Amino acid sequence: MSLILSVETSCDDTSIAIFNNEKLLTQFTLSSALEQSKYGGVVPEIASREHLNNIHQCLINCLKEINLSVFDINYIVYTEYPGLPGSLHIGILFAKMLANLINVQAIGINHLCGHIFSAFINEDKISYPFLSLVVSGGNSVIYKVDSPVKYKVLNITVDDAIGEVYDKVARTLNWTYPGGPIIDRNYDENKATINFIKKWPEPTTNFSFSGLKTAVLNYINTKKMKNENIDEIEIASSFQKTAIELIIDKLQYYKSVYNINCLVLGGGVSANNLLRQSCKKITNDLYIPELKYTGDNAAMIGYYGYLLLKYNNKIK
């Protein structure tokens, strides 16, 4: 038995989890999303301040729930990058200090690896190779994954991440932050009739969602300037349909080029219903994270920490 404590503070969620090997024992998360929604997006300074206020409470709640002492922990893993520097620093400092205090190893984790493997938390086994789609507020990436330590970027966004564009479109429609869930909930297939951008120039072109964002914002602004009625549901649904079709196009291309059927989703946008349904149509070998593991969470960091430790024969 090895107890792994994980710390995630890359953006606006302060989260701590404890695993016994691959088994998640507890997770506690405090989010500053409500506070951030007043500003229509994440304010880094507020995120850092809230991590500072909340991190010890997350630790205490986790330990209490499973009736353990911090001195029972064998490893500490923490999100090292990528993320908001101020937010990351608080988690890193906390994890390193705690590890020093209880005399265990502290291991820095790539946040994106957490997302790649989050669909396997509570699964019996992982079958390699697989294609991973990580779509969130900060990232849009497709990987070919051969092992916990061997993964190759096949496609990555050159500008806005898809979640960022969801948030921007929602904000322009005066909908609340974060925009993804509200656009998802209001999606109406019959109203997705506006033609925004349709195709990638080449199958291998890197993800770029700023063109789609500009097309949607221009459409709204032109309507406003002409004093024409704006059908918000029509705009949001048309945007979502286009965005998901663009992602599915890419997945189908890499699926056929690499002849890999297994597709694994991760990241905040992987909560999206249309994306999930569309992926089910292109493969029957699909792994989707439970909703609670789609956004930022310490469970995915702890689970990847477990995979790394096991891969390096540090735990059985």
Tokens of 299: 């469970």
Check residue 267 for interaction with ligand KG4 (CB under 6 A). yes
Residues 189-228 that bind ligand KG4 (CB under 6 A): none
In Å, how far are 69, 81, 313 from 131, measured between CA atoms?
39, 22, 25
Distance, in Å, from the CA atom of 76 to the CA atom of 98, rounded to the nearest integer, reads: 8
d(CA 177, CA 185): 13
Owner of token pair 């507890």: 26
- Which parts of 50-89 interact with ligand KG4 (CB under 6 A)? none
Q: Provide the minimum distance between the beta carbon of 133 and ligand KG4 in the complex, in angstroms, as a whole number.
A: 13
Residues in 8-47 at the binding interface with ligand KG4, rule: CB under 6 A: 11
- Footprint on residues 155-174 left by ligand KG4 (CB under 6 A): 163, 166-167
Q: How far is it, in rounded angstroms, from Cα 181 to Cα 213?
A: 17
> Per CB under 6 A, does 112 bind ligand KG4?
no
What is the Cα–Cα distance from 101 to 106, expressed in whole angstroms? Answer: 11
Q: Does 272 bind ligand KG4 (CB under 6 A)?
A: yes
CB 276 within 8 A of CB 98: no
Sole binder of ligand KG4 in the list 108, 181, 203, 211 (CB under 6 A): 181
Buried-exposed string 247-259: b where 16+ CB fall within 10 A, e elsewhere? bbebbebbbeeee
Distance of closest approach, residue 72 Cβ to ligand KG4, in angstroms:
30
Query: In the complex, what is the shortest distance from the CB of residue 13 to ligand KG4, in angstroms, rounded to a whole number?
Result: 7
Tell whether residue 184 is a contact of ligand KG4 (CB under 6 A). Answer: yes
Q: Which residues bind ligand KG4 (CB under 6 A)?
A: 11, 136-138, 163, 166-167, 178-181, 184, 267-269, 271-272, 295-296
